[in-house]
């Protein structure tokens, strides 16, 4: 029980770290990394909660996290393609309006 609690708490902190990174940095690749870390935090909470029950852990959250991991890689690939396109079009790796903070 307490083990699952430790990982749940770690998942929550991971999610918040990711949120901080998403807000604090302008570079698009960093934002994508941060969103991935947020996702990992959510998965960790989910898996830890699935393991709370005595005996074999619940397979349904496991299947859902598997789905989540694949959806995350889909989202990451599209976001990276967009970031590459933005960099090629504007020669910048961040969104407009953040120039004064970035340089």
Partner 1 sequence: MTPGLLLLFDLLLPAVLLWLAWRSLTSSDLFRAVILFIAFSLLLALAWVRMEAPDVALAEAAIGAGVTGALLLVALARIESAAGRRLSPSARWRSAALVLTGTALLAAAAGLLWSLRLLPTMPGGLGPLVDRHLAESGVDHPVTAVLLNFRGYDTLLEVGVLLLAAIAIWCLDEAVPFLQQPLESQLLTGFNRMMLPILLLSSGYLLWLGSHAPGGAFQAASLLAAGMLLALFSGASLPAQWSGLPLRLLLVLGFFAFLAAAIIGPLTGRALLHYPPAWEKPLILLVEWLLTLSIALILTAAVIGGRPTGSRLYPPPSSPSAEGRRQ
Of residues 57-86, which lie at the interface with partner 1 (CB under 8 A)?
57-67, 69-78, 80-85
Question: Whose Cβ is closer to partner 1: residue 91's or residue 97's?
Answer: 91
Distances from the Cα of 90 to the Cα of 25, 27, 32, 84, angstroms: 18, 13, 19, 10
- Residue 9 Cβ vs partner 1, minimum distance, rounded to whole Å: 6
C-alpha dihedral sign at 21, 27, 28, 30: negative
Question: Which residues inside 1-40 make contact with partner 1, applying CB under 8 A?
Answer: 3-10, 12-21, 23-30, 32-34, 36-37, 40
Q: Is 42 in the site for partner 1 (CB under 8 A)?
A: no
Distance between CA atoms of 84 and 89, rounded to whole angstroms?
9
Q: Is 95 in the site for partner 1 (CB under 8 A)?
A: no
User: How many Cβ atoms from other residues are within 10 Å of residue 38's Cβ?
Assistant: 20
- Residue 97 Cβ vs partner 1, minimum distance, rounded to whole Å: 14
């Amino acid at each position: 029980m307490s083990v699952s609690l430790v990982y749940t708490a770690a998942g929550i902190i991971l999610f918040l770290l990711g949120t901080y990174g998403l807000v604090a940095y302008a570079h698009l690749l960093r934002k994508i990394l941060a969103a991935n870390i947020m996702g990992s935090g959510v998965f960790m909470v989910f898996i830890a909660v699935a393991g709370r029950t005595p005996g074999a852990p619940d397979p349904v959250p496991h299947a859902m996290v598997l789905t989540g991991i694949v959806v995350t890689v889909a989202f990451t690939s599209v976001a990276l393609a967009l970031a590459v396109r933005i960099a090629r079009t504007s020669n910048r790796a961040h969104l407009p309006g953040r120039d004064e903070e970035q340089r």
